[in-house]
Structure 1
Amino acid sequence: MTFTAEQDALRDSVRKLLDREADPWPELCEQIGVAALAVPERFGGLGAGMTELQLVAEELGRVLADVPFLGSAVLAVHALLATGNDEACERLLPRLAEGTVGAVAWTDADGRWDTPACRVVDSSVEGEAHYVLHGDEAEILLVVADGSLYEVSDARRVRTPAMDETRRLARVRFESAPARLLGPVDLGALRDVACAVLAAEQAGAAARAFELTVEYSKQRHQFGRPIGGFQALKHRMADLHVLVETARSAAYAAPESSRLAAVAKVHCSEALATVAGEMIQLHGGIAITWEHPAHRYFKRAHGAARLFGSPGEHLARVRPSLA
């Protein structure tokens, strides 16, 4: 994979900012413009491509940043653009580009992407959406119902506890909520965008978990030598390195087709889960303490694997039917 000088500069800027800011979202938007990356220039954005979104997601994944990038700057922006509604885009996209939080609600309690939780009855939305990224704090709330995208302002929102404390999720209930039709939306295409960016985030998390594990293997001594010097651990580290690199390759290939997006979702989910599990194993007892970040990567791995559909569901999109 090769990147342009501008893309490398974007990555470096995001990493440096994340290193120094405890609450990075305002600065990410003001100084770097990450919320505006996917917004076309005519709507007040930067008009960047998928690679730039993935570069930012990879850096956010490295530090498990709890920011509304995936739900707002990626999902909400692409959902609006998919409708082809210029009036809605002119009204909402400049706000999203400035960092206003947006959210897209669609899935039911089972978390299936292809089963929208809400329906439209007499120009109002009914139903309860689960796993809505930053849905409890979103100023722009969008909902997918009956194959179209709607804008809704009246909804009951509750932040839901999750195993992964670095991922903000909410449950949003619509009870005869007045809805403004924005236009049709291809949920499959939106899913592929989400999976491609999530895969980059997973690859970033896997890379950082691997780095921390390698560093620890050089510091921890047994039998008078660093454990990283033992042949058996060298082989395990080599296997993890291959997983991390192939995850990055799969992630950056994901935008090329729907099938590759599914491949990335499957492989990056499994790669992060494997690396995080090995991180726990190779760190020993310290890895299961609150003071060490290993448990956070482990939780992120399993939470991210279920987001936008489980790996098993996406695997069915990749392999040919047995029939």
Structure 2
Amino acid sequence: MIIGIKDYLNEELKIILNNLNELFNKVWSTAKLRSYSEGDTSVLDELWKALVNFGLFEFFRDAKPRDAAILMEEVSSRLPPGIVITTIIGAVATGNELGDEKYEGKLKISISSTANMAPEAHRADVIVIGDNLIWKDDASVKPLNSFDNSMRWCQVNFRRSTKVGVNRDLVALLLSAAIVGTGKPPLELSVDYAKKRIAFGRPIGAFQAVKHKLVNMALNIELARSLYLRAADDLKLAPMALDYASRIIPNTIRDSIQVHGGIGFTDELDLHLYLRRSVTLSKVYSFNVDELWESYDKSRAREV
């Protein structure tokens, strides 16, 4: 279960999270993610069908921002192909231009704020760049070799587009939750490793330096989570939650690599998969956070 979040879960969400974890345990793994990164789309087809049958996308239709963010954290922690993450964000944050199909799993959506660039656009049926809605047939898409090839960046050149309403605060909220989700498994792996790895006749978790690092990792994740939960109740804070998660979670995952020592830097462990995903998610949508903080400080000053 998610660390420190039990009090925020209603009974419906508890059931959904438990069943979702069972589904992922049956149909998904980091081994399949590696296979997808190398071009095996059959594993995506299998997972996508399972998620549609589960009703994952449908849940986000009427979900409150807090419930949507909590569920996004859990989905992201399982490292599905990046198109799953961008489709959820695109479905929740766009207007009615895509109709009900976006909640029925009939459309794969890529979303970005970077001109002519979008993650997983080569897998998408529709691409949203800024406020431009681009159908696959109206664009040429070139996938690029990327830091995270399970969420591959693509160059997008489009011939025509229509305007679409995008709630950028909801984009920021879900992205911040997704980034926090990538930090949880490395922490769990590090705690488990620190209990089992013996050095100088003792588990390395008995050494104060390792203890402090693990505690700091847990605090970083909890602080980032607390901020996105606060932002779920006040969406104008969501870009700040995204900014904080984007800076703190990748560093936290790097700490997990250090806890594992030399083996942590190898391809044998999955830690680098979480690091790559967290960094990629942090680049999907950009905000001028300094301006947002300044605006927020001014509004607080007026309230006082």
Same fold (TM over 0.5): yes
* 2:140 paired residue number: 156
Write out per-residue CA displacement over residues 110-166 of structure 1, whole angstroms, 9 at most, x where no aligned residue: xxxxxxx3xxxxxxxxxxx20x23311222344545xx6565732101222210223
8 Å Cα contact 1:203-1:251 kept in structure 2:
no
Q: Cα gap change, 1:306/1:106 in structure 2, threshold over 3 Å: closer, same or farther? A: closer
Structure 1 residue 291: deviation in Å? 1.6
Shift in alpha-carbon separation, 1:304–1:178, aligned structure 2, 3 A = closer
Aligned sequence identity (%): 24
What SS class does the counterpart of residue 290 from structure 1 fall into? Answer: coil
In structure 1, list runs of 5 or more residues that go unmatched. 40-46, 82-87, 109-116, 118-128
Corresponding position: 1:12 with 2:18: yes
Q: Is residue 37–residue 73 contact of structure 1 (8 Å, CA) maintained in 2?
A: no
| Deviations, residues 93-116 of structure 1 (Å, cap 9, x unaligned) | 3322221233355534xxxxxxxx
- Given the superposition, is the C-alpha separation of residues 304 and 77 from structure 1 closer, same or farther in structure 2, using an over 3 Å criterion? closer
Question: Structure 2: which amino acid aligns with 1:211?
Answer: E
Q: Within the alignment, does 1:293 sit opposite 2:277 as a pair?
A: no
TM-score, with length taken from structure 1: 0.76
- The answer to whether structure 1 residue 220 and structure 2 residue 243 are counterparts is no
**Distance of 2:111 and 2:217 partners within structure 1:** 35
Corresponding residue to 1:78 among 70, 89, 93? 93
Say if 1:8 and 1:168 are closer, same or farther in 2 by CA, change over 3 A: farther
- CA-atom RMSD in angstroms: 2.6
**Counterpart pick for 1:270 among 229, 239, 247:** 247
- Paired residues in the alignment total 275
Alpha-carbon spacing, 1:224–1:104, altered in 2? closer, same or farther (3 Å)? closer
Contact 1:144 1:150 in 2 (8 A): no
Pairwise mapping of residues 1-323 of structure 1 onto structure 2 (< 5 A)? 1-22=7-28, 23=43, 24-31=47-54, 33-39=55-61, 47-81=62-96, 88=97, 92-104=98-110, 107-108=113-114, 117=115, 129-130=116-117, 132-144=118-130, 149=133, 153-174=137-158, 177-179=159-161, 181=162, 185=165, 187=166, 190-309=167-286, 313-319=288-294
Give the aligned residue type for 2:60: A
Whichever structure has more strand as a proportion of its residues is: 1
Alpha-carbon offset, residue 57 of structure 1: 1.6
Kept in 2, the 8 Å contact 1:265–1:314? The answer is no
Relative to structure 1, the CA distance from residue 272 to residue 321 in structure 2 (aligned partners, 3 Å threshold; closer, same or farther) is closer
Unmatched segments (≥5 aa) in structure 2: 1-6, 29-42, 298-304
Instruction: Flag the structure with larger Rg.
Output: 1
Whether the 8 Å CA contact 1:141–1:153 is kept in 2: the answer is no
